[in-house]
Amino acid sequence: MTLPASHPMIDGRTADSPLVRAFLGESAGARAERTGRAPSTPVWFMRQAGRSLPEYRERRAGIAMLDACLDPEVASDLTLQPVRRHGVDAAIFFSDIVVPLLLAGVDVRIVPGTGPVLGSPVRTAEDVARLPVLDEGALAPISEGVARTVAALGGTPLIGFAGAPFTLATYLVEGGPSKDHLRARTMMHADPAAWAALLSWAAQVSGAFLRAQVLAGASAAQLFDSWAGALSLADYRAHAAPFSAQTLAPVRDLGVPVVHFGTNTGELLAAMRDVGADVIGVDHRLGLDEANRRLEGRTVLQGNIDPALLGAPWPVLEAHVREVLRRGSQAPAHVLNLGHGVPPSTDPEVLTRIVRLAHGER
């Protein structure tokens, strides 16, 4: 299947944008030479739409998280807020990785201060067999929200996203957030057939969620495997990577660049790339120069400002950002981002200053 003619990657709105060109491997220097402009590194921030913005808190007042995700008008407005404020080079669609679980009929809610909580954990083969089938018609609010957002973004690309099956499975098995994901990792080894069935189910719903966003207008896709760092390389390759590849398969034929990101995954970078990613997001624990070495110098990198430094004095943060840019310049191309999400306590003006710095402004 190909993208519709009205898609921004087809009609010319975003295909030549700095972010898409970088995701496809064009370095800042090459872009500068081609356009005649000063070198500039594209930048966006994970969790850039969120509690750090006063306009976000005002818009979300009285609206539960998952209700906001499923209201196309609200989700679109929240997606656009950081683009308007910071001038970032991309929007990322406002949603949550558990939204496709909810749309499939799973009893899941997001508890403030806790995170996703399941009404009934999934821990046996019988539990897996009872998981509902996602009716793709249920994705209509997502498609509408994406379409609204893309219409307002003009030449700024929208990134769609989804959760990787391993991370989704940790919530499903544990019943909520966990520090060590012990139940999930035990199930992985104790009942590998049930584990494979669970991750195949998660790949199906997450892949459909991601594909709906791309078809509705997203110019790139990012797969979050937030908790993959809990796995050894051998376990990741055997029990997680094949299902991440299944998740990405529904968008690989659409021709948009794919980013893969996880936390504490420095030992997994090549395996994460090999599931079908064009770009690897790197968290703050590993220098981008070392990440580039581990990826044999042939993979575009995204990252990796330490979120903790967003609260440091500007001279300290500025030096850190410049060092990240220097290390990132060794990769084929680099998109500046954080090593994880924006903390709620962040001063929004700090993010705006980082954008200006990445764009070569003073």
Confidence of residue 32 (pLDDT cuts 50, 70, 90): confident
Nearest Cα neighbor of 46 from 358, 336, 285 is 336
Per DSSP, the chain holds a count of helices (H) and strands (E) of 17, 9
Domain membership of residue 338 (yes or no) is: yes
The enclosing domain of 279 has a CATH number of 3.20.20.210
Side-chain-side CA neighbours of 178 within 13 Å: the count stands at 21
Q: What pTM was estimated for this model as a whole?
A: 0.96
Q: Pull the structure tokens for residue 98.
A: 């558990």
Q: How many domains does the chain have?
A: 1
Q: Degrees (nearest 5) of the Cα angle 203, 204, 207?
A: 75
Domain membership of residue 1 (yes or no) is: no
Domain membership of residue 5 (yes or no) is: no
Q: Residue 119 pLDDT > 80, yes or no?
A: yes
Q: How far is CA 171 from the centre of its chain?
A: 17
Domain membership of residue 303 (yes or no) is: yes
Rg (CA), the chain: 19
Neighbours of 293 (CB within 10 A): 12
For residue 352, the model assigns a pLDDT of 98
pLDDT digits (tens, 9 = 90+) for 300-352: 999 999 999 999 999 999 999 999 999 999 999 999 999 999 999 999 999 99
Q: Pull the structure tokens for residue 49.
A: 């739409």
DSSP-derived secondary structure letter, 138? G
Domain membership of residue 2 (yes or no) is: no
Q: Residue 361 pLDDT > 70, yes or no?
A: no
Domain membership of residue 198 (yes or no) is: yes
Domain membership of residue 73 (yes or no) is: yes
Rounded alpha-carbon distances, angstroms, from residue 50 to 10, 31, 68, 247, 258: 30, 31, 12, 26, 23
Task: List all residues 6 or more positions away from 224 whose beta carbon is below 8 Å from its beta carbon.
Answer: 97, 161, 162, 163, 164, 167, 261, 262
Domain membership of residue 11 (yes or no) is: no
Q: What is the mean pLDDT of residues 176-201?
A: 95
The percentage of the chain sitting over the pLDDT mark of 70, rounded to a whole number, equals 99
Q: Degrees (nearest 5) of the Cα angle 58, 60, 61?
A: 65
306 lies in which domain range? 18-358
Q: Pull the structure tokens for residue 80.
A: 């656009």
The DSSP result for 75-105, as a single string, is: HHHHHHHHHHHH--S-EE----TTHHHHHHT
- Separation of alpha carbons 169 and 335, rounded Å: 29
pLDDT digits (tens, 9 = 90+) for 253-307: 999 999 999 999 999 999 999 999 999 999 999 999 999 999 999 999 999 999 9
Q: Pull the structure tokens for residue 43.
A: 């930048």
Nearest Cα neighbor of 354 from 153, 90, 157, 88 is 88
DSSP-derived secondary structure letter, 43? B
Catalytic residues: 47, 51, 60, 96, 171
Length of the chain: 362
- Separation of alpha carbons 170 and 179, rounded Å: 10
